[in-house]
Amino acid sequence: MEQDRMNLSTHMRRSAVASSLAACFCFGAPDVSAQSASLSGTLSFKNKQTGRCLHNNLDKVVFTWPCDNANTYQDWIGRYDGDRGLEYKNRRTGYCLAMSGTQVTSATCNNAIAQRWLPISHAGGTAYALLNLGTFRCIYNASSSAIGSSLTPCGDTNPYLWAVVP
């Protein structure tokens, strides 16, 4: 009985991911597994609207800050985990990129779906919308003066798009 519930839960989660991915294909997403695997390793995310990088601090706040290659608070280590998407762990804080309500935050890594991300390719693979698999919403940052980034329904305009800086 317990195994049947777990199988049903896994099936429902995979169906939800598949439905979300189907919706994302309207944005022109290519092979998701190949693109996700290519966004693993250590990298930074630079917002196309603000030109600022996704930054973490020891208070678990995630925000954008002027990009600095030497700033390890802007380094995220991506780990690809098949149908569970990508986990991004901050190199300096050790916290994972996560969501809390509609806010992007960081938290102690615990393999939760709220800490799983799927990059959706745009602009010929030069920018990505970062879809949270727990909410099916994307990281949005429209203002360089904003303290934090939020999660909103995905879009294909610059506030949603992040260039990968290796």
Query: Domain of 52: which CATH number?
Result: 2.80.10.50
Convert the pLDDT of each residue in 101-112 to its tens digit: 889 999 999 999
d(CA 124, CA 118): 17
Share of the chain above pLDDT 70, in %: 75
Query: What residues have CB less than 8 Å from 21, skipping those under 6 apart?
Result: 29, 32, 118
pLDDT band for position 67 (cuts 50, 70, 90):
very high
**Average pLDDT, integer, range 15-32:** 40
pLDDT reported for residue 110: 96
d(CA 144, CA 35): 28
Q: 21 is in which domain, residue-wise?
A: 2-165
Predicted TM-score (pTM) of the model is 0.77
Domain count, the chain: 1
pLDDT reported for residue 35: 55
Q: How many CB atoms lie within 10 A of CB 165?
A: 14
Angle at 95 between CA 98 and CA 18, to 5 degrees: 35
Query: What residues have CB less than 8 Å from 117, skipping those under 6 apart?
Result: 85, 86, 87, 88, 97, 130, 131, 132, 133
